[in-house]
Amino acid sequence: MNDTTAEPSTKEPLTKEPSTKVISKSLSRTDIEERLSVPASFLHFFPKHEGAREIEFQAIDTLGKLWTFKLSCRSEGHPKPVITGQWLSFVKDKGVKVGDTVTISHQSEGQYSISVSRKLFNVLATLPA
């Protein structure tokens, strides 16, 4: 009788690759009604496209749904980056409100995640979004 047992491979990580929090922002009325304004420091987490003022990126929410967003900047002066695309659909779908906190994390090359949290009874809770 040949008994074999499978052992975990040492080549593959047993845990998910750590993510880097790109932004965590308490949302304003403008953020939930028009576009999400983000700090310029946010830009270095995205590939630069020569001459392009706008890039598309996708982020997966906590339920596994993929959202396509557009990150754009002014062509002159301070870049003032904003996120549009499916942003307003995301806000509506998740029931996002003023004061909620959106967090976008960089998972790995070109992969992002997005979540929303809200203070409930003075405790910050992630919404099932």
Query: Is residue 115 a contact partner of residue 103, using CB atoms and an 8 Å limit?
Result: yes
The answer to whether residue 127 is domain-embedded is no
The answer to whether residue 91 is domain-embedded is yes
pLDDT per residue as tens, the chain (129 positions) = 444 333 333 343 333 455 687 889 999 999 999 999 998 888 888 777 666 788 899 999 999 999 999 999 877 767 789 999 999 999 999 999 999 999 999 887 778 999 999 877 665 656 665
CA–CA gap between residue 4 and residue 20 (Å, rounded): 39
The answer to whether residue 1 is domain-embedded is no
The answer to whether residue 85 is domain-embedded is yes
Name the phi and psi angles at 93, rounded to 5: -60, -35
The answer to whether residue 128 is domain-embedded is no
DSSP-assigned letter for residue 7: -
Q: 45 lies in which domain range?
A: 20-122
**Of the candidates 31, 38, 34, 39, which has an alpha carbon nearest to the alpha carbon of residue 100?**
31
The answer to whether residue 89 is domain-embedded is yes
CATH number where 88 lies: 2.40.330.10
pTM above 0.85, yes or no: no
The answer to whether residue 6 is domain-embedded is no
The answer to whether residue 55 is domain-embedded is yes
**Tell me: the pLDDT tens digits for 77-98?**
677 899 999 999 999 999 999 9
CA–CA gap between residue 24 and residue 105 (Å, rounded): 9
* Number of structural domains in the chain: 1
